[in-house]
């Protein structure tokens, strides 16, 4: 098969080049290729036939999109079989290897097989022209990776609706007037107006925080404020548990089903509030409309948790030179069936044997080599994936434990009768000691103002520690946190600052699994963890903090307790069969 090849040497190691050079979605957008969608048809053997249509360089194209092949940090290849257009096959082969001097040797080839007379006559010229554009973009991307430029590529600004810039400027000002805008209105508007569509289809606040060099909470709050203002739209993505693509998106929590079907993987999957419900954002269409589809729907960075993916012919055996670090991995195929989870301690890694029922693990061979075998009787893609989920995902439990979300989207609830489990939430309960006497001593009006100021103080402390006030009950506050350490830090800050208001505060903190439900038209928590946290607050004598052992033993909490007066106690609590052990902190004593 004819090919045109380009090679370069760069003074960055492969690990730093791979994330930018393997981002085929971004490269295709920069090259001016249009977005496309795939028609996905399940086959009798469980695989999925993916057919695409598009237009490039003036040619109308139709093709079957085969799964990409790649080895993370080293190689990728795309295979498209065209039924319409000048070529039968046309695609890149990318190789990356250390140069022995701390840098990298990069090889990029375009393989093509003519389909029509045009392809035979002008194939070499078209490949050379396409390769020239790719080379320009590669040099730009490497310069970006080296910090020599602030944007990935030099591309023309997007076409915007009439008045979009003026509308965005007005919305940015509104964001900055919000208590949750954090002064990021103008920067957020600029991202929407000038950013690449690849970043904006699913705008991730944690990645945005990194790009803008601001704290994560500041970026998340700005995006929530931007949605309330009308610059952004909110997208609750129900991610496929296999490919982790957003196969179902809802604009509200109440619209999220309990499960969905992924046509790409040909599987049904359930909703897991912690792992596969992610909040992302997108520009409001009146400011920046985005096209339907993606610029590359199956490249390596579309599923960055997959470290190896091979397209195997029936009966094929292939060995890959790769030394995987210790970690949790999964062996599977792209068609439905069994999978194998591997806790890898280092050294030789198990091989992968694919059958028509799924995969089996082969005994480890030599260290640094992994065997793949296709015994399924048909072509399939076999892969090894890292089982850790991306840290850039903003999960549903994180969102509902943020004060900004509860303040700006108080109406956001689950469907009536729906519920969602979370494996851990840290709950803080507070109460004022002697509030009845306070009302008698200073009068109802004065006491009411004091209590209201105390609520405002506690709410600000909760927000500063990445938590949210779930509700107030009389003079008491219930707050939730994603991290037990954040809850303990908040409790310490409350006791340190409440003394300035001549009040005595009782606090209890517990962490554990809970159920998220809709109660009184607000998102709330239900279960024994809630009951335990409330009961522990009842054990507080005032001015102290009562921590459950689950919280006190948390590795992130332990350093916070150093130097504090702490004593362990045990008590029988209503609703719990065994005595409950807890730690009483006495700050400032």
Residue 3: which H helix or E strand, with range?
Answer: strand 3-10
Confidence of residue 440 (pLDDT cuts 50, 70, 90): low
Which of 61-65, 164-168, 448-452, 467-471 has the lowest average pLDDT?
448-452
* Mean pLDDT on 92-106: 93
pLDDT value of residue 509:
97
* Mean pLDDT on 159-169: 94
pLDDT value of residue 128:
84
Confidence of residue 131 (pLDDT cuts 50, 70, 90): confident
* Mean pLDDT on 184-191: 97
Class (C level, CATH) for 3-145: alpha beta
E-only strand ranges, 18-58: 38-42, 48-56
* Mean pLDDT on 318-347: 93
Quick check: pTM over 0.85? yes
Please answer whether residues 306 and 385 qualify as being in contact, where contact means their C-beta atoms are separated by less than 8 angstroms: yes
Please answer whether residues 67 and 296 qualify as being in contact, where contact means their C-beta atoms are separated by less than 8 angstroms: no
- The answer on pLDDT for 352 being more than 80 is yes
Please answer whether residues 81 and 89 qualify as being in contact, where contact means their C-beta atoms are separated by less than 8 angstroms: yes
pLDDT value of residue 242:
84
| Residue with token string 């194209």 | 61
- Return the CATH number of the domain spanning residue range 413-586: 3.30.70.1230
Between CA 514 and CA 525 the distance in angstroms is 6
Strand partners, 270: 259
CB crowding 31-49: b at 16 or more within 10 Å, else e? beeebbebebeeeeebbbe
Domain 306-386, architecture per CATH: Sandwich (2.60)
> Which pLDDT tens digit goes with each residue over 244-270?
888 889 999 899 899 999 888 888 899
* Mean pLDDT on 431-447: 69
Please answer whether residues 17 and 146 qualify as being in contact, where contact means their C-beta atoms are separated by less than 8 angstroms: no
Higher pLDDT, 196 or 244: 196
Give the three-state DSSP class for 164.
Answer: helix
Confidence of residue 447 (pLDDT cuts 50, 70, 90): low
pLDDT value of residue 359:
95
Name the CA radius of gyration of the chain, rounded.
28
Between CA 180 and CA 220 the distance in angstroms is 9
* Mean pLDDT on 27-50: 89
Higher pLDDT, 68 or 391: 68
How many Cα neighbours within 13 Å face the side chain of 134? Answer: 26
* Mean pLDDT on 205-218: 95
Average pLDDT of the chain is: 91
Between CA 234 and CA 317 the distance in angstroms is 46
> Domain residue spans in the chain?
3-145, 164-295, 306-386, 413-586
**What is the DSSP track for 124-147?**
HHHHHHHHHHHHHHHHHHHHHHTT
- The answer on pLDDT for 35 being more than 90 is no
- CB neighbour list of residue 424: distance below 8 Å, 6 or more residues apart: 484, 511, 512, 513
* Mean pLDDT on 541-546: 94
**What is the DSSP track for 344-390?**
E-SSS--EEEEETTEEEEEPP-STTEEEEEE-SSS-EEEEEEE-SPP
| Residue with token string 């106690």 | 569
Give the three-state DSSP class for 70.
Answer: strand
Alpha-carbon torsion 502, 508, 509, 513, what sign?
negative
pLDDT value of residue 442:
64
Residues 409, 395, 390, 185, Cα dihedral to 10°? 10
Angle between helices 185-194 and 205-212 (to 10 degrees): 110
- The answer on pLDDT for 417 being more than 80 is yes
Confidence of residue 523 (pLDDT cuts 50, 70, 90): very high
* Mean pLDDT on 212-235: 96
CB crowding 309-343: b at 16 or more within 10 Å, else e? bbbbeeebebebebebeeeebbbbbbbbbebbebe
pLDDT value of residue 439:
67
Between CA 83 and CA 101 the distance in angstroms is 45
Tokens of 422: 């979370």
- The answer on pLDDT for 451 being more than 90 is no
Backbone angles phi, psi at 182, to 5 degrees: 55, 25
């Amino acid at each position: 098969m004819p090919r045109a090849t380009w090679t370069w040497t760069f003074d960055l190691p492969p690990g730093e080049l791979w994330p930018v050079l393997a981002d085929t979605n971004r490269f295709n957008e920069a090259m001016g290729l249009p977005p496309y969608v795939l028609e996905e048809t399940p086959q009798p053997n469980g695989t999925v036939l993916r057919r695409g249509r598009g237009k490039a360089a003036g040619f109308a194209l139709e093709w079957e999109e085969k799964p990409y092949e790649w080895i993370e940090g080293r190689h990728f290849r795309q295979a498209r079989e065209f039924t319409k257009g000048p070529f039968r096959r046309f695609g890149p082969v990318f190789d990356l290897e250390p140069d022995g001097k701390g840098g990298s040797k990069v090889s990029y080839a375009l393989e093509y097989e003519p389909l029509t007379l045009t392809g035979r006559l002008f194939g070499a010229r078209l490949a050379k022209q396409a390769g020239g554009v790719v080379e320009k973009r590669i040099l730009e991307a490497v310069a970006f990776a080296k910090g020599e430029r602030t944007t990935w590529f030099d591309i023309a600004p997007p076409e915007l609706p009439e008045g979009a810039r003026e509308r965005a400027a007005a919305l940015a000002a509104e964001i900055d007037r919000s208590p949750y805008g954090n002064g990021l209105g103008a920067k957020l508007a600029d991202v929407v107006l000038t950013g690449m569509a690849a970043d904006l289809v699913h705008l991730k606040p944690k990645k945005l925080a990194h790009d803008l060099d601001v704290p994560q909470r500041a970026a998340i709050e700005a995006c929530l404020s931007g949605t309330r203002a009308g610059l952004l739209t909110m997208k609750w993505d129900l991610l496929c548990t296999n490919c982790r693509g957003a196969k179902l998106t809802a604009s509200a929590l109440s619209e999220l089903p309990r499960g969905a079907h992924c046509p790409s993987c040909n599987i049904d999957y359930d909703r897991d509030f912690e792992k596969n419900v992610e909040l992302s954002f997108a520009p409001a269409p009146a400011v920046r409309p985005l096209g339907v589809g993606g610029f590359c729907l199956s490249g390596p960075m579309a599923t960055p948790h997959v470290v190896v993916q091979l397209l195997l012919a029936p009966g094929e055996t292939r060995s890959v030179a790769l030394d995987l670090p210790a970690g949790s991995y999964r062996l599977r195929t792209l068609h439905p069936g069994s999978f194998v989870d591997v806790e890898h301690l280092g050294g030789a890694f198990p091989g992968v044997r694919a059958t028509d029922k799924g995969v089996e693990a082969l005994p480890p061979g030599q260290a640094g080599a992994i065997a793949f075998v296709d015994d399924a009787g048909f072509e399939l893609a076999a892969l090894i994936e890292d089982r850790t989920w991306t840290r850039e995902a903003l999960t549903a439990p994180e969102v509902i434990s943020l004060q900004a979300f509860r303040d700006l989207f108080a109406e956001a609830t689950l469907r009536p009768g729906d519920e969602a489990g979370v494996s851990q939430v840290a709950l803080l309960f507070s109460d004022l000691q002697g509030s009845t006497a306070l009302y008698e001593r200073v009068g109802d009006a004065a006491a009411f103002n004091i209590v209201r100021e105390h609520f405002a103080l506690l709410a600000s402390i909760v927000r500063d520690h990445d938590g949210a006030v779930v509700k107030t009950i009389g003079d008491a506050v219930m707050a939730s946190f994603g991290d037990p350490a954040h809850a303990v830090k908040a409790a310490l800050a409350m006791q340190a600052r409440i003394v300035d208001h001549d009040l005595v505060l009782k606090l209890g903190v517990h962490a554990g699994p809970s159920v998220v439900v809709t109660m009184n038209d607000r998102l709330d928590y239900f279960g024994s963890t809630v009951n335990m946290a409330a009961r522990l607050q009842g054990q507080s004598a005032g001015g102290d903090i009562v921590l459950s052992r689950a919280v006190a033993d948390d590795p992130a909490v332990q350093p916070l307790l150093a130097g504090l007066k702490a004593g362990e106690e045990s008590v029988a609590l209503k609703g719990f069969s065994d005595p409950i052990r807890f730690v009483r902190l006495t700050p400032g004593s």
